[in-house]
Each structure stands twice: as structure tokens, then as C-alpha cells.
Structure 1
Amino acid sequence: MKITLQICFLLILHLFFHISSSQFLPSNTTGYACNLSQTASSCQTYAFFTAMGPNQLDLASIGDLFSVSRPMIAKPSNITSLTSPLVPNQSLFIPLTCTCNSVNTTTNISYAKINYTIKGGDTFYLVSTTLFNNLTTYQSVELVNPTLVPINLTIGQDVIFPIFCKCPTKTQLQNQINYLISYVFQPSDDISSIASRFGSTTESIVEVNGNRTIRPTETVFVPVSKLPELTQPAPINVSNSQRTTERTSAVIGLGVGLGVCGLVLILMGCFLAYRESVWKKRVGRKKDDGESKKNEAGVSLMADVSDCLDKYKVFRVEELSEATDGFDDRWVIQGSVFKGYIHGKPYAIKKMKWNAYEELKILQKVNHGNLVMLEGFCIDSEDASCYLVYEYLENGSLYTRLHESNVDMLNWRTRLGIAVDVANGLQYIHEHTRPRVVHKDVKSNNILLDTNMRAKIANFGLAKSGCNAITMHIVGTQGYIAPEYLSDGIVSTKMDVFSFGVVLLELISGREAVNIDGKALWVEVHENFNGKEDKHIHNLKGFMDDVLLKESCSIDSVMNVMSIAIACLHRDPSKRPSMVDIVYALCKSDDLFFDISQDGLSPRQVLAR
């Protein structure tokens, strides 16, 4: 009876919010429509967020809420200390991956997917208003989680909270509008004050948001060419009394340390005398020691990835073994990657015999629609193995699609879309991670395609966080390795640019990066396209995939991509374009867009900064 009354109360409360809260909530409660014919399918943008409440006064808590790292918030927010506490109402810029999402057959809504785990007392309304500070609404949460019952949430349940955002249109990008900042309108605000605060103009804000009355708690999109510099309070200093206490503690600690050192010296003498007898006992326990080392290695692996335990699902070895029939060869996708079904859903399971800490450390920093998503991992302490569990992409690798004759060939528009997808993914890891991430193994085998032929970059096993370093350990795939990395071990984002140029050559020619004689494709291009430009069109027709020639695609469009590829393959890395420039240049191709006056056409549209 008590439970029934509670459910009735929640029903009444839920209806109350639906009916009577219209005076408090924005008129656009379910989100902001997006049109793939005008904007990018995804982009990197920012939300303006004010730290409030006792649980939001440190970067770690806010980073966990939005699934980003502390440096990713600190850098755009002009914060120098990652550990100093925040002050109430401190302003922050939160990085978002904004995507145009289809919520039903007729509606596309633009938002950033934030995964949130329900806790005791949570409701869609409370989390939207108090934790996310009205950057979303409970109506929108209901819309994107149609299978969940708002009045019957379970603790530990994962819910997608759609943070409102927008991507710039092609015209806006051409007008140097690179970001549309998501800002929650406050009672004391007006358009002119917002424009002044963010270095924008009243006219441009009205143009983006429409000439309408904006009410408190409604999201306003503020167009800017670059993020304004936020004025932040100085980090909280440690008081003199605290410093005195610390010095006193240090003196005491020093005395204790000296005493411990003396005791250690005595014990060391005893240890040396006893070592011989211990060594003899060890010889007789080799088998036990072997098992112990395995367990220690497993414990070490789990300790290394302890920071990831709250970011990803931790699978059991038994689950993964059952999903792959004991890792049977029939389920191998490629190398040590297996396809497996867990609770009826397919996953790609990567079995590794080494420490996955570096790869996990990089993967938990990245979150982008053109990067393959890590779903979880597993540590097997029995043999010190690690398993990474990724989303499964149905159409396999770009390599398979281009170079194996038993699959449908790709038309030019699809190839061009794949090129832009990969460029967007590389732009994200090069420009929006801190420190920057270098993939180091960009190739057609590591580009996977989903059911809609959208491309995602996979396999961060060789990736490096941080660039402009030198290494003596050269790794990678023949035909894709940048000359400066091969000769001098120089690691930089420009080595990814070079590899991407090779992928563009594959898309144009339909040929592999290295032919049967061992000659690299990029070397052939340097030989044939290093002369007069008036011969380039003729040479291009001899280089193009027969499938494209039969399709009668635009030679100008192919030549544009070829020119980008040649620029990427420049022997001097400093003269190669950045991924920002590459994305912009690729998106200038007319083949990415249909004339919007044509009725009934809604192709996949791609545009990014």
C-alpha cells in the first residue's frame, strides 16, 4: 500500500511538472532541430557552465559529470591549477561533441550525448536543472530515452542526458563563426549583455536564434570566431598556519625518516646473512613462484587501470569467453580482434597480451562520433591478459571495402564522405585533446564503417599522448609511415597527416598502399604528379579507380581531393596542412552537397570546421 501511494505521488508530481512548469521552462523543451543539409553531422563546441553547489566546486567532479578530463575544461576556461577548488558561480567552458541525432522518423535534434548513472533521489527534472544547470530539459531526456519510465528509475541505471548544442552552418564557417556556444539565459540577461560578454554581436545572436522572446533557462547559442578568455579568481592560497603546520610536520617526518633509515641498515645486514638459505628454498618453489608472478601481473594491470573503473563497464572473463565460443577462430575479425555477442548485442573484443594502460588512458580522453567507442574492458589475472570491448561496426574496414573483390564497391560520394569523417576524427584528437594525441597508425585497416557507411577511426594501440617527441622504436605499417618518422623517429601530428594522405590515395585509386613489388603508392604519386599541373588531369585519369571512371564522377572533385593528398604527402612535415585546413578543403567539394531546391533529396551531408 505504501509503495502504491509513492507511485501515485510520483505520477502526480510528474504531471505537475508537465502542466504547470511551462512558466519556468523554455518554450523549446524537447531540443533544437538540426538539418544535415546545412550543418555538420558532428562538431566540437562548448557549453558555458557555472559551478554551483557543494558537489560542483572542483574540476574532477564536473569532468566526471560531462565525461571529460580536467585539462579539457581547464584549458578553454583559462584555469591554471587542476587541483585548486573552484569558487561558487565560477565560469567554465565545457567541451562538447555535438551531433545531429535522429530521434524519430521525422525529427533530427542536435545535442551532445552525456551518459549519467542514476543515484538515489534522482529524477530527470532534478538532474537536468540542478546538475546540468538547465543545459537540457527533462522533456528532452524523456524523448531520447523512450524505453525508460521517468517515475520508476533504478539506481545504477544509465541514462542519456542530451546537452543542447548546435554546429555552425557552411555559411557561418565561411564567415569565421567557428563555435556556437551553448548558454543558458538568466533572468538578468538581455541579448546585448550576452553579446558583450562573449565578444559577439546582437545581430549575429538574433540571426542564429531567431527574432523571438527568449525566456530564463532557455538555451541561447552564441556565435563566436574564438572562445573569449574567462577571468578567473586566483587559486586559493594555503594559510600561514597551514604552512607552519606543514613545516612542523616535515621536521617530525625527517626525524622519523632518519630513525627508519638506521633500522633499515640493521635489517639489511641480517638480510644479507640470511640470503643464502632463502635462495636455496626459492629454487625448490619455482612452480609456485610462476603462478605468483602471474597473479602479481594481473594485480598490477588492475592497479594501472583503476582510474578507468568508473568510466567503462568491467566485463568478466567468462562473459567474453562465452560470447566468442572460447575465442574460437571462427569469430576472428582481424588479428586478435573477435566478434562476440553479449546479451544479444554484438561487440568487437580485442585480446591483448600486454598492459593496456596507455591505450585506456588515451581512450578515456577522447569522445567523438568518428572514433570507435570503447564500451568496457576486462583483466584476466590468470594469464595477465587484457581485453578491450569496443562497439561493433557492421560494414567492416575500409580496406575490405576497397581491396576485396567480394564486396560492393564504393561510389565517389561515399568515399568523399569517408574521407571527411576520418579527417574530422583526426582533427579532434589533434586539436581538442590536451595533450594532443597522435594516432601513429592511420590506415585503411584501422578505419571502420557502420551501417550508414559512416567512418570511425579504430585501434589506438600505438597512439601517443603528446607530440614533437623523438623515439628510437619505430612502429607502424609499411606504405603509411611518414619519412621523418622512419628516418629520425620524430613523432608529431604531421605524421598522421601523411598517413591520411595515403588513405586519400587509396580512396581515389582503389589500390593498396604498397603494391606486390613493394613500391609505396605515395612514391608513385610523387613521380607522376611532380611535373606541370596541366598534365595532372591526364595522369589522374590513369590513376583513378575504374569504378569511379565508370561512374562518371566529377573530375574536378577528384582532382581537389588529389591536391589535398599531395599536400599531405609533402616530404617536409612543416609544409603539410593541419587537419583543420584539410577538413575545410574537403568540405568545399560540390559532391558533398545537393541543391537544396531539389525536392525529396536528403543525402548524408558533411561539413566541419
Structure 2
Amino acid sequence: MSQVSKLMNATADDIAEANNVTSSFTSVMGPAMLIPVRQPPQLPPLRYAASAGDGKSRSRRRGIIIGLGISGSLVALAAVCVAILAHRRYRKKASVRLGSRFVSPKLSWDKNQYGLERSNSFAHMIKGGDNKLLTGVSQFIDKPIIFVEEEIMKATTNLDERCRIGSSYYRAKLDGEVFAVKPAKGDLSAELRMMQMVNHANLIKLAGVSIGADGDYAFLVYELAEKGSLDKWLYQKPPSALPSSSCTVAATLSWVQRLSIALDVANGLLYLHEHTQPSMVHGDIRARNILLTADLRAKISGFSLAKPATTDAAATSSDVFAFGLLLLELLSGRRAMEARIGSEIGMLWREIRAVLEAGDKREAKLMKWMDPALGSEYQVDAALSVAGMARACTEEDAARRPKMAEVVFSLSVLAQPLSVADAFEKLWQPSSEDNIRIAGSVAAR
């Protein structure tokens, strides 16, 4: 009772008097009692137990808040992805504008003419290009690149002569890599077709192209052949046109190097004639179109006159004739045709016939005719064999010229150590027509 009276601000006597109770309150058990209150009671704050319904409500609110947060994050992430995609597409259009303006009709050809599906055309591949990398332009190129014309002009100091490599190429450092660039002239469709169809170690690799402001091709960009073109090594001693950074070899080509170059070119032609579908004719084999790598391996370039061979077996004979002239230039260090004193025109293929038909004096005449820069480092019998091979290649009757397979076989033997080559050196020495036929039959085996 004392606790109740304290809470209600009433005395125990007042409560007893109001309820007519005279006995002790501790023993009273019964109905409710009246409590007189003179001042507001001092009741403690009410305490409520948490109900199950309240817990569910709070959990529901928490779930809503978490869901809204996750949804907002996903929306923000999607917005970022859309922005990145739009930025990439903008950069693609800005860096390489690949539309009808950049696709020359000269690059369209039919399957009937070249045996190629239209879907493999260079123009089609450019339309489907990805940024600067146009994957699949040809079987030969892993990642063909569209270069900016201004970058090439800057890299070559506006085609400065100090950047020239050989007769037609310029040295250019693009994106940290050094290339050989060739100014585009005339119709490039044949050259680009060839790059689609060929893949050989002795053929130069096309790395990409450059498109000018007029939408036509400005440059072809090739792998770098550090030592330049063969003509600078044969006709100029030392090869002054080569950049100083790459001119660290002897001033002339040795006999072994010349044989190696001849074999490389022959292998490249053999591939074109017999291992492409359809067979191809290069059409412009000459010293300036033979490029030399750092280790003086030869690569054929200059495919502007290339074309498919016809069904005629002699269709590739023009390349064989040109290769014969190249052999003569390697032997003599002179051009196949050049002006002499007065109005005389020197023709090496005629001169070599006179040398080889000199009977017992042919060795002496050949040594006098050979490039004096070679000195005495070659064997006369080997030189006679190569000279006989060159004469056979330059026969006036195209049907009598050897196939490149025969030439490759013979040069491969001559390039072997002397103990192996000795037995074959005289195969191409044309002492009689029988020797030439024997050489051809041995090579065929």
C-alpha cells in the first residue's frame, strides 16, 4: 500500500478512510478501491513489448531500402557501359572513316576472273574492319593496318632522300615499328590481289595501306627489308643509298651471298608458278624489286604487273627469262641492258652466249666478264654452271626454257659445300645440247 500511495500522491489513512477500511491493508483482498488524489499522480512511463507485427513491418522497410539501392547501382552501371560504348564508336568513326569514299571500285573483282569469292575482296574486308586493324584482308597479313597519310609523310620527312631505301621505298617509323613504305602509283588492284593470295618467306609482306584525303591509296606499307634493294648492291659500290644505320656490311656481295640470293628468288618464283591457285606470273622480276633483309635474304616485291597464269604451259616463261637476266647481273655486277660507248647497247644475255661459245677460251673470257669485285673467291666451274643456267633461262624459244623447279634444284646443289656440289657443277655448262637436257632430267627427279 505504501508503494501505491506514493505513486498516487495519497496517504494510506486517506485511502482507508475513503474505502471505510479499518483493518490492515495487507490482508484485504477484494474489489477495486477508491484512492483520493489531491495532486496528479507520478506514474512511470509506459513500456510496450515489441509485437510480431512490428518486426515484420521493419523487415519489409529494410528490404525495400536494400532493393532500391541495388536497383540504383545497376542503373548507374548500365549508364556507364552505354557511355563507354558510345565513346568507342565515336572514336572508331573519327579515327578510320571507312565508307564508300574509302573503298575504291578498282578493288572489286569477280570469281570468274581470279578464282576468288567476292566476299574475300579487299574492299569487303575494309568495310568490315575493326578500328585500325582490318583482320583478314589476306591470308598473308595477320593485322593489316590503315595508316594515316600525314603520319607517313612526317615519318619520312616528306619523302626525304635520306629515308630512301632502294629505288622505290622509304624507311618510316610508325607506332614504334619500322616499315618500308612505297608511294602508290596507278592501279594497285593487282598488287593487292597478290597479297591476298600468297604466303611465302621469299615474298615481301604487306603490313597495311595508307589512304589519302581524296579517298584513294597513297602508300603501301611493307615489312622492312633493312638492306634495301638488290640494284644498289650490284650497280653501286658501296651501296650509298642505304641508311647509315644498316650499312654495316661489306661494300659488295660475296659469291656465296649471290648464290643465296639467286636461290631465294628462285624459290619465290617456284611458289608463285606451282603452289598458288591459280598459278601466278610476277611479270616484273628485276634487281630493284628484290629486297634484302638484315641477313641478306632476298624477298620479291613489286607485284603491280602480277597476273594469273593462263592454261598455256609457257605462261610463266617470261618470269624465267627475267630470272635469267637477274642471274647475269649477279654474275657481272652490271645491268642486263645498258648504254655503252657511242650508240652501242650492251645486252648481257647476248654477251654470255659469246662467252660460253668460245670453246677452250671460255673460262678465260668468263673470268674477264665476271664482276671484278668478286676477285678469285669463286670457282670457275661453278660460275660456268650458273652462266649456263642463265643462258638456258634466256633462250629465245620460250618452250626451251627450264622450269623454276629445275633451277631451284640446281641452285640448291651449287649452294651446298664443295664436296656435294662438285658432281653437279657441270650440269649447266652448255658444252652441248645433251648437257642441258641431262640437267633438266636430273633436276626433275
TM, length-normalised to structure 1: 0.43
1:521 aligns with 2:345: no
Query: What are the Cα deviations for residues 420-478 of structure 1, in whole angstroms up to 9, with x where unaligned?
Result: 11110110101111111111111111111111111111111111122368xxxxxxxxx
Question: Which residue pairs with 2:272 in the alignment?
Answer: 429
* Cα distance, 1:377 vs structure 2: 1.3
The 1:541/1:325 distance shift into structure 2, 3 A limit, reads closer
Verify the 8 A CA contact 1:354 1:386 in the aligned structure 2. no
Structure 2 partner of 1:306? 123
Is 1:504 the equivalent of 2:327?
A: yes
Q: Distance in 2 between matches of 1:355 and 1:511?
A: 31
Q: 1:531 to 1:573 in 2, by over 3 A?
A: farther
Does structure 1 residue 544 correspond to structure 2 residue 370?
yes
Letter of the aligned partner of 1:593 in structure 2?
P
Task: Give the Cα–Cα distance (whole angstroms) in 2 for the partners of residues 432 and 375 of structure 1.
Answer: 22
Code of the residue aligned with 1:592 in structure 2: it is Q
State the alpha-carbon separation in 1 of the partners of residues 285 and 169 from structure 2: 17
Tell me the CA shift for residue 535 of structure 1: 3.7
Contact 2:171 2:181 in 1 (8 A): yes
Of 551, 558, 581, the residue aligned with 2:383 is 558
**Separation of aligned partners in 1, 2:182 and 2:105:** 16
C-alpha contact (below 8 Å) 2:355/2:366 kept by paired residues = no
Counterpart in the other structure of 1:39: none
1:503 and 1:319, CA in 2 relative to 1: closer, same or farther beyond 3 A? Answer: same
Task: For residue 587 of structure 1, give the secondary structure of its aligned residue in structure 2.
Answer: helix
Mapped to 1, the partners of 2:213 and 2:384 lie a distance apart of: 53
Is residue 186 of structure 2 the alignment partner of residue 363 of structure 1? no
Q: Does 1:403 align with 2:229?
A: no
Question: Relative to 1, partners in 2 of residues 1:353 and 1:554: Cα closer, same or farther, differing over 3 Å?
Answer: closer
3-state SS of 2:413 partner: coil
Match of 1:575 in 2: 400
Q: 1:584 to 1:297 in 2, by over 3 A?
A: same
Q: How does 1:411-426 map to 2 (within 5 A)?
A: 411-426=254-269
Q: Which residue of 1 aligns with 2:130?
A: none
Render the CA deviation track for 1:263-303: whole Å, top value 9, x for unaligned.
xxxxxxxxxxxxxxxxxxxxxxxxxxxxxxxx977443586
State which structure, 1 or 2, has the greater radius of gyration over its C-alpha atoms. 2
Give, as a single letter, the amino acid of the residue that structure 1 aligns with 2:339.
I
Contact kept in structure 2, 1:350 and 1:388, CA below 8 Å: yes
CA distance in 2 between counterparts of 1:424 and 1:608 reads 15
What code does the residue aligned with 2:238 have?
A: N
Q: SS of 2:197's equivalent?
A: coil
Q: Distance in 1 between matches of 2:288 and 2:356?
A: 26
The answer to whether the 8 A contact 1:346-1:392 is kept is: yes
Whole-Å separation in 1 of the counterparts to 2:123 and 2:205? 19
Return the match for 2:149 from 317, 339, 354: 317
- Structure 2 counterpart SS, 1:519: strand
Aligned partners of 2:325 and 2:394 also within 8 Å: yes
Query: Match of 2:417, as an amino acid?
Result: F
- Note if 1:593 corresponds to 2:410: no
| Counterpart pick for 2:315 among 469, 484, 492 | 492
Q: Is the Cα–Cα contact under 8 Å of residues 229 and 292 in structure 2 kept in the other structure?
A: yes
Q: Deviations over 1:152-187 (max 9, x none)?
A: xxxxxxxxxxxxxxxxxxxxxxxxxxxxxxxxxxxx
- The alignment-based identity, stated in percent, is 37
Give SS of 1:340's match. strand
- Distance in 2, Cα, partners of 1:375 & 1:392: 10
Per residue, is there more helix in 1 or in 2?
2
**1:493 Cα deviation after fit:** 0.9
With over 3 angstroms needed to count, the CA separation of the structure-2 counterparts of 1:302 and 1:552, relative to structure 1, is closer
Unaligned runs of 5+ in 2: 1-98, 109-121, 127-135, 138-143, 240-250, 421-442
Distance in 1 (CA, whole Å) between partners of 2:328 and 2:211 is 39
Instruction: Check conservation: 1:583, 1:608, Cα contact below 8 A.
Output: no
Find the residue that maps to 1:580 and give its secondary structure. helix
TM-score, with normalisation over the residues of structure 2?
Answer: 0.58
- The whole-number CA distance in structure 2 between the counterparts of 1:335 and 1:586 is 27
- Partner letter of residue 223 of structure 2? E
Contact 2:166 2:228 in 1 (8 A): no
> Where in structure 1 are there 5+ consecutive unaligned residues?
1-294, 470-489, 597-606
Q: Is the 8 A contact 1:299 1:381 kept in 2?
A: no
What is the rounded CA distance, in whole Å, between the counterparts of 2:307 and 2:107 in structure 1? 21
Match of 2:303 among 444, 456, 460: 460
Deviations 1:106-160 (A, max 9, x none): xxxxxxxxxxxxxxxxxxxxxxxxxxxxxxxxxxxxxxxxxxxxxxxxxxxxxxx
Residues 1:509 and 1:302: Cα distance change in structure 2 (over 3 Å)? closer
Preserved CA contact (<8 Å) 2:261 2:296: yes
- Distance in 2 (alpha carbons) for counterparts of 1:595 and 1:526: 29
Equivalent positions of 1:56-95 (< 5 A) are none
**Residues matched between the structures, number:** 282
Mapped contact 1:417–1:592 kept (Cα < 8 A): no
1:510 to 1:330, Cα distance in 2 relative to 1, 3 A:
closer
Correspondence for 2:87: none
Give the counterpart of 2:220 among 388, 392, 406: 388
* Structure 2 counterpart of 1:449: 292
In the TM superposition, residue 572 of structure 1 has moved relative to its aligned partner by: 0.5
Partner Cα distance (1:562, 1:594) in 2: 18
Task: Check conservation: 1:308, 1:364, Cα contact below 8 A.
Answer: no
Q: Partner of 1:276 in structure 2?
A: none
Distance 1:298 1:313, change over 3 A: closer
Letter matched to residue 354 of structure 2: E
Once residues 372 and 529 of structure 1 are traced to their aligned partners in structure 2, the CA distance between those partners, rounded to angstroms, is: 35
- CA distance in structure 2 between the partners assigned to 1:353 and 1:588 by the alignment: 40
SS in 2 for 1:588: helix
CA distance in 2, matches of 1:379, 1:371: 23
Letter in 1 for 2:350: V
Query: Which protein is richer in strand relative to its size?
Result: 1
* 1:538, distance to aligned residue in structure 2 (A): 2.7
Indicate the SS of the match to 2:198.
coil
**Structure 2: distance between partners of 1:307 and 1:383:** 16
Distance 1:337 1:411 in 2: 24
Partner of 2:334, secondary structure, is coil
**Equivalent position SS for 2:346:** coil
Q: What CA distance in whole angstroms lies between the structure 2 residues aligned with 1:441 and 1:393?
A: 19
Aligned mates of 1:583, 1:571 — CA distance in 2:
21
Deviation at 1:577, TM superposition (A): 0.3
Amino acid at match of 1:306: A
Q: Distance in 2 between matches of 1:329 and 1:545?
A: 28
Shift of the alpha carbon at 1:498? 0.6
SS in 2 for 1:364: helix
Equivalent-residue separation in structure 1 for 2:220 and 2:145 (angstroms): 10
CA RMSD of aligned residues (A): 2.8
1:238-249 aligned within 5 A? none
